[in-house]
Amino acid sequence: MKKLVCCLSVLAMVLTLGGTAMAYNFADHVKMAPNGKGDTLIYPVYAAAPGGWETKIWVTNTAVDRSVVAKVVFRSMKNTDELRDFLIYLSPTDVWNCLIRVGESGKVEVYSTDDSALAAAGVWASTTTPLQVALANPACSDDTNAIGYVEIFTSAHSTAAPTVALNTPPVSKQLIFDNHATAGPLDPDMVTDGINVLAGHAEFRNLSLGHNSVYSATVLRDYDATLNNGTPLNPVSGTFFGEIGAWNSVGEVEAALNRNNIAMPYSSQNGTVHFLTFPTKITGTVNGCDIQRTSNSPFFSKYLTGISSTHLCVPFTGTDYDLSEHSKVISTIFSPAPTGDYLCGEVNYVNGFGYTEGWSNYNFAPGTTAFTTRDGLINAVPNDGSYDGVPVIGTVINLGADGLWGLNAAYTDGMVQTTAVGTPVSQIYYYYQYQDESNTGYLYDADLPLAEDQTRIDVNAAHPLYNGAPVRP
């Protein structure tokens, strides 16, 4: 409802002020969802291979009184090619799922019997008429559709008091479809706006071998893929982070995802795989499929280094630790990458660790990246924000003798702050992420054991008791 009111206010101001810039607050923009519910989901890796290896994607509408329409986008491993997309129509409390697998034809396909998606024009998926469509082959030979990632963007949701039965399950999928076709900012039944009710997880599995590994989707809230212009998403046009129809720029998504380091365990020297995914990289080609590619990302634009083996590649240092504090700086990259420690694809994987069991720490040194915040129906002052990390998501899948399991990475948030002209002192904005000592400037009281001291002070502020060392206020 907050976003609906906000959207109505935007429209009123545009009509009355003729495009005058709106007041703006970072707190109203995209951020990591600590409760696992949001309006945008990123499944950082899927994989499909012969022999029964497949990935099952789940999307849950946790709202008990709202219907939601969302767009599902499947992207390739190396160049973010859009391999397939379609809409799903979720009634209140509804769940949609699909398989990404190698079909009988030998092609990687999406398969679902869930009636929340269309199997063909006018035909809802079912056990007798499943949604079954092959993923497109990537444009370039160095890419693949057997490994990639998936995005879910909310397109519209029902209002609090629709004139038709959209909020009390069961709801006709065709009714949701018809209302989404006419959805808009002022529609009484379904509005083009994000709503933070979607949750998601994925299973990487092989049922014939009894293996099943689960990891959670990365969830963003308040991204609002359609709020900026009120146009519903559709399968005809591509959908990327930062499109003009979205309330947030791609730089703001990167600010929410930026990390200074990623920590992931391994329980098998060669059977554990670490995935590092860059969902905002969104590369394009310059001359066919050569290695000189482009990106609209503020972060990756810094790595446009001409035609070279490290074009758009991110350097990193990987340190492996065993169970007894020993360490080795060693990383073997099996994703498409040049010699050396670089991450060059949208989805990269690391395998072959220095010890039998332990954990790995991936450090980045990207410097500061400036980004532009999006203010209502216009862009705000260019480069009025900055962050100091890398927009990356880490995921672990273990294929070792001790079982198949999956895990989301631990990480340290990067700092996000304003660099707006006229600001006397850079102000830290922690709306985009969780708050911890690394991204807020807060420190625990050094005078007491951590277990006893839960009081924190802002060392960036002019605290009356601050004298150069953390103290209890």
Please give the average pLDDT of every successive group of 10 residues along the chain, which has 473 residues. 38 30 55 92 97 97 97 93 95 98 96 97 97 94 93 97 95 97 95 95 92 94 90 90 90 92 92 94 76 83 71 86 88 45 88 91 86 67 82 92 87 79 56 56 41 39 39 29
Together in a domain, 240 and 266: no
Q: Are residues 34 and 156 in the same domain?
A: yes
Residue 210 domain-assigned (yes or no): yes
Residues 87 and 171 occupy one common structural domain: yes
Same domain, yes or no, for 157 and 41? yes
Residues 39 and 167 in one domain: yes
195 and 341 in a single domain? The answer is no
- Report whether 385 contacts 250 (CB < 8 A): no
Assigned domain for 368 exists: yes
What pLDDT was estimated at residue 26? Answer: 55
- Full residue range of the structural domain in which residue 283 is found: 257-418
The pLDDT, as a whole number, for residue 418 is 74
| Residue 356 in domain | yes
Do 88 and 223 sit in the same domain of this protein?
yes
The pTM assigned to this predicted structure is 0.85
Whether residue 176 is found in the same domain as residue 292: no
Give the max Cα distance, the chain.
73
Do 208 and 290 lie in one domain? The reply is no
Please state, in angstroms and rounded to a whole number, the distance separating the CA atoms of residues 147 and 126: 26
In a domain, 43, yes or no: yes
- Whether 119 and 214 map to the same domain: the answer is yes
Polymer length of the chain: 473
> Total domain count for the chain?
2
Decide which of 418, 447, 464 is a domain's last residue: 418
Do 127 and 57 sit in the same domain of this protein?
yes
Asked if residue 194 is part of any domain, the answer here is yes
In a domain, 105, yes or no: yes
Residue 106 lies in a domain: yes
For residues 262 and 183, state if they share a domain.
no
Please report the pLDDT score of residue 317 as a whole number.
86
Is 438 a member of any domain?
no
